[in-house]
A and B are shown apart, each in its own frame.
Chain A
Amino acid sequence: MMTTHRPPIIALRNVNKWYGNLHVLRDVNLEVSEGEKIVLCGPSGSGKSTAVFTINGLEAYQGGEVSVGGTVVSERDGTAHDLRRHVGMVFQQYNLFPHLSILENCCIGPMKILKVSRAEAEARAMEELARVQIADQALKYPEMLSGGQQQRVAICRALCMRPRVMLFDEPTSALDPEMVGEVLDVMSELSERGMTMIVVTHEMGFTKRVADRVVMMEQGSIIENLPPEQFFDRDLANPRVEAFLNQIMHA
């Protein structure tokens, strides 16, 4: 296990969550240090997306504690709301705002939430869009762009808020295969800039290249939490990890 000297920026401690009788998160414990890149994987329904959603308060949890930057995420006292602006989120279905242009999608958060001036917000947005080669599409509307382009815009939109952490919920699963690469490239580049990232993905090539640790979940519990070289080491592998990896490789 990696030893961390700084206090974790994200910490989940004994987090439990139920949907009615369904126990979707079971004693989830996870610490993420600043600058670390975590890949979260596991079979569908294992609770990985739910776990990520508790970090920015999109999903409530019933037991345990989730904290970001030392503050406990709770809907009740409004901390979840204040924390969200520091936690960027990229969704599977991009969820760009269809009634706003690409530029407006990137500016609305900084302008309305961070109260940045329009000029400043637009400059920031154009800088982010240029980095992902979409600056020339800034005045178009989301529906005119390809899936890969939309997802890159979604990443820019989150980055314009200058988040401390970026969460990715299966960012490439809704994409046509030929567009997966362009989105993963943007994410790799972002990781090189030192962003703290938690990525739910089954892209194992990306995981090997970028992840500091791979966390695998099954039935709501974390069953493995290892650096990639150990996670993918067939000699050491946990049989359940092996079975999962075989499954997604053959898919």
Chain B
Amino acid sequence: MPENTSTTVEESAVPVATAAGGAVKGTKKDKPERVASMWSDARRDLMRNWVFLVSAVLILALLVIAAFPGLFTSGDPYAKGFCDLSNSVVPPTGAHWFGFDVQGCDIYTRTIYGTRNSIIVGVLTSVLTTLVGCVLGMVAGLRGGWLDVLVSRFTEVWFAIPTMLGGLLVLAMLGTGNVVTVSLIMAVLGWPQLFRIMRGSVITNKQNDYVMAARALGAGGWRIAMRHILPNALAPVIVVSTINLGVYISAEAAFSYLGIGVQSPNISWGLMISDGQDRFLSAPHMVLFPSLFLSITVLAFIMLGEAVRDALDPKLR
């Protein structure tokens, strides 16, 4: 998308609509010709931040594992004859690094194949909550009036019901959970959080000078909303959505652990942990490896979110 320089106010209060563009103030003097936006500043900061680099590498690796699990293991956990009961609870060996579970299935292969479900739940839920929260937050924040009151009151009701509780209710009633239903339910319960952040952010940004400047220059309501307010209001939403990716992955594992999330024969780390926990003392490997993958995945997304927040919010430096 092109940079918009026609409405420059002071030093570049112009949203640079890159992939997720937007500008607050360019105070960097080293490249005077370039419009330094909040996002390009943030990008520069991120590339120097080891927390970001570590989490980005981890997430990239997890995405590759999720997309092509076959690259990392020769076994197919969904194939017939994959599990051999004679291998039941065999601890890790040189050929089978993570050992076997009660059913005699190779834990390494299962853990690798479990990545996909976790990533799908995290991404799907996070994308859905962000989309719904952003759209409603934009509308409520910009329009105000009865619509704002209505949606805000509605979210208050939603907020009063803890996610874990609501999820338990719906999932237990439905009986059979899978990746999609778990994501949908968490999204239905989770969007008010993003709505609140977006609404607050939009209302703050609405009052900024560059919005008035854009309006003075004759920009229409739609253009101001999409090109000026949206990119600037998006920062806190992106931070929370990224952190939420990890939170939702953890929540899915919790639901699966309780037996109401992803159901066997589908693979979920939460389910694997629940299967192995009875023998934790005699065979810790059954719990250890899925827990490790789960924790690292959650950790990676939370670290990414925090790195992005540090880059976008210079106040904290």
Partners in one complex: no
A residues with CB within 8 A of B = none
